[in-house]
A and B are shown apart, each in its own frame.
Chain A
Amino acid sequence: MHKKVLMSGNHVIGEAAILAGCRFYAGYPITPQNELAEYMAEHMRKTPGGIFIQAESEIAAINMVLGAAAAGARAMTSSSSPGISLKQEGISFLACDELPAVIVNIMRGGPGLGNIAPSQGDYFQATKGGGHGDYRTPVLAPAHIQELADLTMDAFDLADRYRTPVVILADGMMGQMMEPVIFKTPPPRQYDESYVLKGKEMGKSRFIRGLILDAIRMEEHNWKLYRKYQVMAQKEVRYEAHLIEDAEIVIVAYGTAARIAKGAIKRLREEGYAVGLLRPITLWPFPEKELREIAKKVNSFIVFEMSTGQMLEDVKLALEGRAHIDFYGRPGGVIPTPAELAKVIAYKARRNER
């Protein structure tokens, strides 16, 4: 057991990754995640077998990760929104080639160059495939620094278990903020090495490829991936339910927004509103069943995001008209206060009563 330390989110991801056995990192500078690359630059060199490369571009970085993953390393890259757009090519190839890797997105305001303030505008990109072709990636959305450490370690296991790229989706605030954290000692890496290219050695030569010209065989590959995604959807959903038991209104929020929501709920409860929170920890797979379960008792949901409403669509799809859904969002890098959110929710609650 490690001792409790005060660390920033960006550094925590780096440390957790190295503890989890990550030995290859390639990245490119972009705010607000530079401290992660800097941490890796320093600590990978101190770790036996650790490799750090400052790549010439985001595209190169993700493709280096692909090469390293094919060669059997636990590999990671990180960036922020515009940089993640550039990485989509490589993520799509990783998904197709079924190679494990971890991709960290410390989101900032967008679209375009946007700004460097914390935002949640990349939900669609992260959860709906992001790059070209028919694929999904598991998306982990931590809301505090301890969880960030734990999920970073879990991300590598998930990547190995399903041979898939895994996305950690946080925002600038999670990257910059410090909170106390205790690092776990993760179990040693366990995975099926059969895909790793090392040179054929004594055996038969192998190849990793994504080009499948024959449509029927490509279709087979698509269905194979799809079945894998179905298993993940069955087994890997994670969420936190906060004060749901007696709730009449349930906020759905993730990451930083969920923290704000908790603050708002505290105020609202003091004013007599029975409000709870469902916080998806995996954004894909999305806790659909859990939402539907809650909707058996609760008729009023409020989706709160630091965007104009992206997860909102998944909530609507999950509830299929079973409950009333409101939305409140602040895009562009604005972080509302818990007081502001509480006011909005109280207003909506009163209006819905009428």
Chain B
Amino acid sequence: MITKTIFAGFGGQGVLMMGYTFAQAAMMEGYHVTYLPSYGAEVRGGAANCTVAVGDEEIASPIASEPEYLVIMNKPSLLTFQNRVTHGGVIFLNTSLADIKPTRKDVTVHEIPLAEIAETIGVPRGQNLIMLGAFVRKTSLVSPQSCLKSIEERMKGKRGAAWESNRRAFMAGYEWGQSK
């Protein structure tokens, strides 16, 4: 089976990094993976998105016309992508930057107040990893351990203060997912 996710928001929110971290974690678990970022004129004006496909078989197209999952970091991205998600799919919504609800009634919506959680744990820049934690908990596409390893890899194995903040952010999201 192949599962596709679109991660979307604006540049600076760590959207591409979120997708990459997830994709790398899936790769470490031995899955077939593709990661396709938006590029060129698409990202002028500040929008950023990427598509990650994960599967136990060869992936034909890295593009998601009907993704199973949508990870939405702001309101414009919700408006752009909400109609793409497949029937019965799931939207992860950052309610801190999207004050509207999805119009789709045939999908599950997880509303996550990223700014609030980030403030509580004292990691204001960790919102993308909080989201990733919640995403991983709810989808079970990869294990949290692989995700943490992927984050560590990205930080070239340095386990300093930055690593600790990142781990905390990811785990806060993961636990949020558990509680809901």
A–B contact via C-beta, under 8 angstroms: yes
Contact at A263–B61, with CB atoms within 8 Å?
A: yes
- Chain B residues within an 8 Å CB radius of A339: 65
Tell me, yes or no, whether A173 is within 8 Å of chain B by CB: yes
Interface string of A23-41 (1 = CB under 8 A from B): 0000000011000000000
Q: Look across to chain A and name the residue whose beta carbon is closest to the beta carbon of B150.
A: A6
Tell me, yes or no, whether B170 is within 8 Å of chain A by CB: no
Partner of A259, one of B20, B27, B39, B61: B61
Tell me, yes or no, whether B91 is within 8 Å of chain A by CB: no
Within the complex, what minimum Cβ distance (angstroms) separates B48 from chain A? 13
- Chain B residues within an 8 Å CB radius of A264: 60
Within the complex, what minimum Cβ distance (angstroms) separates A287 from chain B? 21
Interface string of B5-31 (1 = CB under 8 A from A): 000000000000000100110010000
Q: Look across to chain A and name the residue whose beta carbon is closest to the beta carbon of B62.
A: A177
Within the complex, what minimum Cβ distance (angstroms) separates A114 from chain B? 12
Tell me, yes or no, whether A266 is within 8 Å of chain B by CB: yes
Interface string of B121-153 (1 = CB under 8 A from A): 000000000000000000000000000000000
Contact at B37–A176, with CB atoms within 8 Å?
A: yes
The B-contacting residues of A in range 270-327, CB under 8 angstroms, are none
Contact at B60–A176, with CB atoms within 8 Å?
A: no
A172, A177, A261, A266 — most chain B CB neighbours (10 Å)? A177
Q: Known contacts A4-B27, A6-B27, A31-B39: does B58 contact A262 (CB below 8 Å)?
A: yes
Q: Known contacts A6-B27, A180-B33: does B63 contact A335 (CB below 8 Å)?
A: yes
Tell me, yes or no, whether A179 is within 8 Å of chain B by CB: yes
Contact at B63–A178, with CB atoms within 8 Å?
A: no
Tell me, yes or no, whether A251 is within 8 Å of chain B by CB: no
- Chain A residues within an 8 Å CB radius of B161: none
We find that the number of chain A residues with CB closer than 8 angstroms to chain B is 24
Within the complex, what minimum Cβ distance (angstroms) separates B163 from chain A? 20
Interface string of A308-352 (1 = CB under 8 A from B): 000000000000000000000000000101110000000000000
Interface string of A240-279 (1 = CB under 8 A from B): 0000000000000000000111111010000000000000
Contact at B23–A6, with CB atoms within 8 Å?
A: yes
- Chain A residues within an 8 Å CB radius of B60: 259-264, 266, 338
Within the complex, what minimum Cβ distance (angstroms) separates A297 from chain B? 25
Q: Known contacts A6-B23, A31-B40, A178-B20: does B61 contact A260 (CB below 8 Å)?
A: yes
Q: Known contacts A116-B40, A177-B36, A262-B60: does B23 contact A337 (CB below 8 Å)?
A: no
Bound Cα distance A100, B52 (Å): 38
Bound Cα distance A266, B58 (Å): 11
We find that the number of chain B residues with CB closer than 8 angstroms to chain A is 19
- Chain B residues within an 8 Å CB radius of A116: 39-41
Tell me, yes or no, whether B35 is within 8 Å of chain A by CB: yes
Partner of B23, one of A176, A178, A266: A178
Contact at B39–A32, with CB atoms within 8 Å?
A: yes
Within the complex, what minimum Cβ distance (angstroms) separates B79 from chain A? 22
B27, B61, B63 — most chain A CB neighbours (10 Å)? B61
Bound Cα distance A137, B35 (Å): 31
Partner of A177, one of B24, B27, B35: B35
Q: Look across to chain A and name the residue whose beta carbon is closest to the beta carbon of B60.
A: A263
Within the complex, what minimum Cβ distance (angstroms) separates A25 from chain B? 21
Within the complex, what minimum Cβ distance (angstroms) separates B174 from chain A? 22
- Chain B residues within an 8 Å CB radius of A8: 35, 37
Q: Look across to chain A and name the residue whose beta carbon is closest to the beta carbon of B63.
A: A335
Contact at A173–B40, with CB atoms within 8 Å?
A: no
Contact at B36–A176, with CB atoms within 8 Å?
A: yes
Tell me, yes or no, whether B34 is within 8 Å of chain A by CB: yes
- Which residues of B are at the interface with A, using a C-beta cutoff of 8 A? 20, 23-24, 27, 33-37, 39-41, 58-63, 65
Given contacts A31-B39, A178-B20, A263-B60, could you give 12 more A-B pairs where the C-beta distance is less than 8 Å? Answer: A6-B23, A6-B24, A6-B27, A6-B33, A8-B35, A31-B40, A173-B36, A177-B62, A178-B23, A261-B60, A264-B60, A266-B60
- Which residues of A are at the interface with B, using a C-beta cutoff of 8 A? 4, 6, 8, 31-32, 116, 172-173, 176-180, 259-264, 266, 335, 337-339
Q: Shortest 10 CB-CB distances between A and B: which pairs?
A: A263-B60, A178-B35, A116-B40, A31-B40, A180-B27, A177-B36, A6-B24, A262-B60, A259-B60, A337-B65
